[in-house]
Amino acid sequence: MMGKLISFIGMDGAGKTSLVNLLKKELEKKNYSVKIVYAGRGKSNILPIQLFGKIYRKSGGSESNVPIIGKNFERINMIHTVAAPIFAFDMFLRYLFIILPSQLKNNFVLTDRYSTDILLMNKVPGLLKQLLYSFFPKPNKVFYIYNTIKILHKRKPNHSIKDLKRQEKIFKKLLPKINAEKIKNDSLSKSVSKILRAI
């Protein structure tokens, strides 16, 4: 029997990682077996993504949440577009080789981020992002963890307000389509209680 795949999505600073770790402990107290998988773009890669990152930075690029100014803008657009399928493929490999086998062994697989990370890619054509996103199986349940832009920026000051607003617009369009349950994370314990009731 397949375990439930439950994904936690949202912007940086919303508290997804802390929430997932606490939820795992609470579920294990109830004698469920639980596996946490980081399923976003930033780390835990199978492919040598960090190598691509070095090449990108040498070409004049910077992190997606930092505004790009100057003559390298067009080139950086192309670099992002070419890199998008590589990141998506790495994420799909993690689904095949980590998430799927974990579902066969556990009652719950909790993902910190998921394929929606593809839709958040900056400076990548929307149609390409939608195509890459379409290859991923849908989770049993999706929780959108959020807070105000002001609080998110306070928690992660290196993430620009401009990019947080960009991501917020993307999520507002996406959430009704994926039937995500919204959790405003002001208190980890209260948020976990809401999630436990929902699952």
Between strands 4-9 and 34-38, the pairing is: unpaired
**Coil vs helix vs strand at 58:** helix
Q: In what order do the strands lie in the sheet with 108-112?
A: 34-38, 108-112, 4-9, 141-146, 181-184
What is the helix (H) or strand (E) element at residue 133, kind and residue range? helix 126-134
* pTM (two decimals): 0.88
Per-residue pLDDT reduced to its tens digit, 123-177: 899 999 999 999 999 999 999 999 999 999 999 999 999 999 999 999 999 999 9
Q: First vs last Cα of the chain: how many Å apart?
A: 17
The upper half-sphere exposure of residue 69, i.e. CA atoms within 13 Å in the direction of its Cβ, equals 2
Q: Which two tokens stand for residue 47?
A: 């492919």
Per-residue pLDDT reduced to its tens digit, 21-58: 999 999 999 999 999 999 998 788 999 887 766 665 56
